[in-house]
Chains A and B, each alone.
Chain A
Amino acid sequence: MARMKFLCDAERCIECNACVTACKNEHEVPWGVNRRRVVTIQDGKPGERSISVACMHCSDAPCTAVCPVDCFYQTEQGVVLHSKDLCIGCGYCFYACPFGAPQYPQAGNYGSRGKMDKCTFCAGGPEEDMSSLEFQKYGRNRLAEGKLPICAEMCSTKALLAGDGDQVANIFRERIVARGFGSGAWGWGTAYSIKG
């Protein structure tokens, strides 16, 4: 079975935020909660690069290791999902996650955290596939519909790739070969005056 992975190609991302907008629209994610965001480094300077970040669905996921109520599970395709019925909004996973993926809607007037929400790789949650309960809690289950994540589908430059990890790696490898350099060759721009 395929192992699902994301890859964002910083040489291609143009910080258009289409991935962010598509995700919010697909899953009706409320204001203030961001399953995906675009981070820009060296903003406005030469060498500016943007990268689109969400939950990476890690192999040995730190969130899963720290969760005190064990609300996380990994699907056969490697997608890290969680149960909002079990989640107590403690915030441990946010501190554990290297990508800052977990998000918490405000639950009460004193800023208490609600149930954690994060990118599901468009694969819903523990409720019955494509049920209205699943949509309400976790958003659409595109994988169950036989589709890939909407963020990568929508990406205008195909900077963001999502799908079978082997295929994603093959596409990226072809690009690197065609370019002759790339993010694996950081510093070529400075050393050899090639835009990179």
Chain B
Amino acid sequence: MILTSGRLVEYEGGGDETRSNPWLAELQQDMFVEMNPFDANGKNIRNGDMVWVKTPEGAQIKVMAQVTERVAKGVAFLPFHFGGHLEGKDLRSKYPEGADPYVLGESANTAFTYGYDSVTLMQESKCSLCTIERV
């Protein structure tokens, strides 16, 4: 599937500050992947199931499936404001005491490729590939 990423209205950038704000964190408590009902049905995935998003370089992230027609068939979307989980492991205990945000989740960057723009050195965060499987 084509993998892309983008923003949520509640969070900003990597999300550490905004996920540390209780009013905002309460509104988005889970890192997720949006997928079309057509793709989800084919893989026996229901809305709210935990899934592995696996990418060509061997990375995998464990996120919640959001089944929606907002994305086209064959496209998966990740929001990029989460961090603090790495390939299914919760790293909350590694934060200095009192510095951990209310909400943690897999970082979209874990799943994206090594590609980057040679002029600006900006990483490729819009276009990659993945497969999705139920956990």
Contact = CB atoms under 8 A, between A and B. Distances in A.
Nearest to A17: B27
Contact of B23 (A15, A24, A44): A24
A21 B69 contact: no
B133 interface: no
A32 B26 CA distance: 8
Contacts, number: 23
B26 A31 contact: yes
A15 B27 CA distance: 12
A15 B24 CA distance: 14
Interface of B: 9-10, 22-24, 26-27, 68-70
Which 5 A-B pairs have CB atoms at the shortest separation, nearest pair first?
Answer: A44-B70, A44-B68, A24-B23, A21-B23, A44-B69
Contacts of B23: 20-21, 24-25
Given A21-B23, A24-B23, A16 B9 contact: yes
Nearest to B102: A31
A179 interface: no
Chain A at the B interface: mostly helix, strand, loop or mixed?
loop
A17 B26 CA distance: 11
Interface string A7-33: 000000001110011001100000110
A31 B22 contact: yes
A21 B24 CA distance: 7
A16 B23 CA distance: 13
B135 to A, nearest CB: 23
A141 B16 CA distance: 32
B69 A20 contact: no
Nearest to B22: A31
Contacts of A45: 69
